[in-house]
Amino acid sequence: MKICENCGKEHDGSYGSGRFCSKECARSFSSKNSKGQLKEAKCVDCGKTIYIGKRASNKTCRCEECKNEYLINTNKLKGSILKEIKNKKLEKYVKCPICGREHLIYLDCDNYFCKQHNIQHFRSLIKYFGFDKSKLGTTEVENEFNRVRNILYDLYWNKNLSSTELASKFNYKSTPTNITQKFFKNYLNIPVKSCKYATLENYIEGRETTNECNNQYHQQWHTTWNGKEVYLRSSYELDYAKQLDEQKIDYEVEYFHIKYWNSQKQEYRCAIPDFYIPSTNTIVEIKSSYTLDEQNMKDKIKTYKELGYNTKLICDYKEKEI
């Protein structure tokens, strides 16, 4: 029997050279004995002689000065090192690799643009959004940044492009929502449209088909008497569609979107009429007494009539004047 040099237990010597009882003990012994041991090496940047851990690599070792500068230039300055620099109050000015300005380890720059420096974001600007790479490290970089930002702002807010359309236009590989929720909001400082605003805009621009929705109670596809597939959202709508089918009246379901003024919320909203009968140019709204909002329906009908449509409201299977 032999004694393990790490844990002191007896063993049969079957593992390795017989010095240790197991692989774990062999590794533990190696780590403990190499801890605190140093070896001589040379800084890969300046060539200065330094001492590093026995198990550290000679290919990436740097002295303290070169290490800090390397972390700064590669935008990898970590919180612990940043605190150390603050505590030591190092009066060292460096040139920013992005904007070309010289400032104290990025700490004295109060410009919004400088505070948002991020190598990864600039790679995305260059790769997808036409940022001129030659401007990096020069005083022109902020103007170039604002040029790209203004283009994206104009497309998003003035041209009303959705995040999906922006992703397609610039061949952006990540998910479309990343453009607005992360890239625009967190980096470019472009205001992001609310979900309600974006949905209204999509309806008005005709980008979103309301027939695509989850299968919920009483919602189903229906084939009309003349072979069209329509999506109905309630049993009330299904019964009315069957009535029109029996009379062989041509109709459309959620055929268009109409912008109207909501007097209760004091904002523009989008109405999607339930039925449209082309032969009589009539919009038909199907409601139950539970879902009917009379003031909201008045606002919609007012707009329908101003646009020249005939209107009909059916509530709980009965025609209702409003």
- The 10s digit of each residue's pLDDT in 16-71 is 888 888 888 887 877 776 656 778 899 988 888 888 887 788 888 888 878 767 76
H-helix segments, the chain: 23-34, 64-73, 79-88, 112-115, 119-128, 141-153, 163-169, 176-178, 195-205, 235-246, 294-306
pTM: 0.40
Please name the residue that has the structure tokens 């299977």: 317
Structural domains of the chain, ranges and CATH numbers in brackets: 2-35 (no CATH), 119-205 (no CATH), 220-319 (3.40.960)
Q: What is the pLDDT of residue 306?
A: 93
How far apart are alpha carbons 27 and 14 in whole angstroms? 16
Closest CA to 272 of 288, 250, 296, 256: 256
Structure tokens at 259: 């912008």
Q: What is the pLDDT of residue 249?
A: 95
Q: What is the pLDDT of residue 169?
A: 87
pLDDT digits (tens, 9 = 90+) for 115-151: 555 666 777 888 888 888 888 777 788 888 889 889 9
